[in-house]
């Protein structure tokens, strides 16, 4: 598939790397279960999707660029026979877009087939990659996941769990992994717990592990629990084995942005309802930054719970003011110049009857590059709003993420270059305010245990020199 600017979904929001899922069933062919699980995780990555399945003897793989329902149909799922499988839906943070970086990565090893799907980002991938090349390995992609796959394939130890435990200390950064081997699925989470990973039991006694609890609930799972930081979980039919392979970090580093933006509102993160936390963000924002207005309007969809919370706390009525085209997804078709100029209007339409003559409080979840907020404010004004007060349910993002979130680099982040008044002028709002970091954590319900480096610059793991996500693209262009 030809690669063009994926413009329709590339607005002012951070992008998560991916979603992962693994299924082991004693009775069912799992390809369809993996497919429906990936459907539930589509919001975490929309560049590529893949499924690998093993029948105990052979492993089969299908992956391609595009959304889950574009990559898979009945014909492509039919050959994927087996009771163990893993799946992946991708947004790139290490390695550019393109089929060669689509996951899972699958290789044949002396110990049998191995397929790996990864959510996160290794901060020492460049050093690990150079080491593999120095040992004579050939690399076909530019993703840190391929590096992890080859390291596992060449590791020593009697079992895959032993090889994984032996390899884990070499990896620095964020990783929630699912592995497919001949007769089972293995999952592991980094010792800091950056990215989410949960496990639940199917009705037939089998097990599923996935990036979010919403995918487990879609498949009817019960007994849902988190994979602990540093824990290896093995799923084999009705059997589950849990092994603490690494000591969890003294200070965990869960990604706060799972609450702000990434996770579906019907998921649980750190034992908390994402939807409820987002509502509390809005309530806290109303306490910190009240303003006289007539209506509270969200930027759909992730800001809807926060807008409800802001309305409830402030007493200002909530109403829809923007309608989102939820079916636009990502397109590989280059827009015409006229459509490109319309930009945000391709994704949002304003409801003039709810905005005309109104003083509007516009609730959004984040301000990253500053490319969307201004056009949205103008869209409301064009629809008749007499005032627009922009309220953001997270603190200003001033530092890049190195753990699996594509926010760009520090100089891409508008809040790193401008003060509050300059930001207000750029977006064209009558007033602009952000939720404080203390207020955010108060709404989460914990003072620590989360990674807030994008707000503070205090990284829980040393990240070294900044690297672009296409840093390994030079040779294999």
pLDDT over 70 (residue 328):
no
**What DSSP string runs through 425-470?**
HHHT-SEEEE--HHHHHHHHT-SSSEE-HHHH---SS---S---TT
Residues 144 and 33 in one domain: yes
Average pLDDT over residues 156-162: 97
Inter-residue contact 428 to 370 (CB < 8 Å): no
Residues 83 and 121 in one domain: yes
Evaluate whether residue 4 is within a structural domain: no
Residues 383 and 243 in one domain: no
Evaluate whether residue 456 is within a structural domain: no
Q: What are the pLDDT digits (tens) for 53-109?
A: 999 989 999 999 999 999 999 999 999 999 999 999 987 555 454 577 899 999 999
CATH code, domain carrying 328: 3.40.50.2020
Identify the pLDDT of residue 339.
64
- Give the SS3 label for residue 368: coil
Residues 81 and 225 in one domain: yes
Q: What are the pLDDT digits (tens) for 184-205?
A: 999 999 999 999 999 999 999 9
Residues 78 and 21 in one domain: yes
Q: What are the pLDDT digits (tens) for 425-453?
A: 999 999 999 999 999 999 999 999 999 99
Residues 104 and 145 in one domain: yes
Residues 300 and 371 in one domain: yes
Residues 397 and 296 in one domain: yes
Q: What are the pLDDT digits (tens) for 262-280?
A: 999 999 999 999 999 999 9
Residues 232 and 185 in one domain: yes
List the 184-189 sheet strands across, edge first.
105-109, 112-122, 173-181, 184-189, 231-236, 239-244
Which tops the pLDDT comparison, 419 or 328?
419
The residue from 218, 250, 282 where one domain ends is 250
What whole-number distance in Å separates Cα of residue 80 and Cα of residue 82? 7
Average pLDDT over residues 353-360: 98
Which residues make beta-bridge pairs with 270?
none
Evaluate whether residue 281 is within a structural domain: yes
What is the count of structural domains for the chain?
A: 2
Residues 206 and 69 in one domain: yes
Q: What are the pLDDT digits (tens) for 109-142?
A: 999 999 999 999 999 999 999 999 999 998 988 8
Q: Which range of residues forms the domain containing residue 369?
A: 273-446
Q: Give the active site residues.
A: 18
**371 pLDDT tier (thresholds 50, 70, 90):** confident
Evaluate whether residue 437 is within a structural domain: yes
């Amino acid at each position: 598939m030809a690669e063009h600017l994926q413009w329709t979904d590339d607005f002012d929001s951070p992008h998560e790397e991916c979603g992962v899922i693994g299924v082991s069933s004693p009775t069912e062919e799992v390809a369809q279960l993996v497919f429906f699980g990936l459907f539930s995780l589509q919001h975490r990555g929309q560049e590529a999707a893949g499924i690998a399945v093993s029948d105990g003897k052979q492993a089969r793989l299908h992956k391609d660029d595009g959304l889950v329902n574009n990559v898979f149909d009945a014909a492509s799922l039919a050959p994927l026979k087996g009771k163990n499988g893993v799946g992946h839906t991708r947004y790139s943070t290490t390695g550019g877009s393109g089929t060669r970086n689509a996951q899972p990565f699958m290789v044949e090893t002396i110990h049998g087939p191995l397929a790996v799907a990864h959510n996160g980002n290794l901060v020492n991938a460049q050093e690990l990659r150079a080491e593999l090349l120095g040992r004579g390995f050939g690399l076909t992609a530019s993703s840190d996941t391929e590096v992890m796959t080859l390291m596992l394939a060449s590791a020593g130890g009697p079992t895959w769990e032993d090889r994984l435990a032996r390899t884990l200390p070499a990896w620095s950064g964020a990783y929630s992994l699912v592995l497919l081997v001949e007769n089972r699925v293995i999952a592991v989470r980094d010792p800091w717990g950056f990215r989410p990973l949960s496990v639940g039991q199917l009705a037939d006694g089998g097990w599923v592990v996935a990036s979010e609890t919403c995918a487990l609930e879609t498949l009817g799972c019960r007994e849902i629990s988190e994979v602990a930081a540093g824990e290896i979980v093995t799923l084999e039919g009705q059997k589950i084995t849990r092994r603490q392979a690494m000591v969890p970090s003294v200070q965990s580093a869960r990604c706060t942005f799972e609450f702000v933006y990434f996770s579906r509102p019907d998921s649980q993160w750190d034992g908390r309802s994402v939807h409820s936390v987002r509502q509390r963000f809005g309530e806290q924002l109303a306490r910190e930054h009240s303003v006289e207005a007539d209506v509270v309007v969200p930027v759909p969809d992730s800001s809807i719970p926060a807008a409800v919370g802001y309305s409830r706390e402030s007493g200002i009525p909530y109403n829809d003011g923007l309608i989102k085209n939820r079916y636009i997804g990502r397109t590989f078709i280059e827009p015409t110049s006229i459509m490109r100029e319309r930009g945000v209007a391709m994704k949002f339409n304003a409801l003039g009857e709810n905005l005309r003559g109104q003083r509007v409080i516009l609730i959004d979840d984040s301000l990253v590059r500053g490319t969307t907020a201004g056009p949205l404010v103008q869209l409301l004004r064009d629809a008749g709003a007499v005032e627009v007060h922009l309220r953001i349910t997270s603190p200003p993002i001033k530092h890049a993420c190195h753990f699996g979130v594509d926010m760009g680099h520090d100089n891409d982040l508008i809040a790193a270059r401008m003060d509050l008044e300059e930001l207000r002028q750029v977006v064209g709002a009558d007033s602009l305010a952000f939720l404080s970091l203390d207020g955010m954590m108060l709404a989460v319900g914990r003072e620590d245990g989360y990674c807030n480096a994008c707000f503070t610059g205090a990284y829980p793991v040393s990240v070294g020199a900044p690297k672009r996500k296409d840093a390994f693209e030079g040779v294999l262009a």
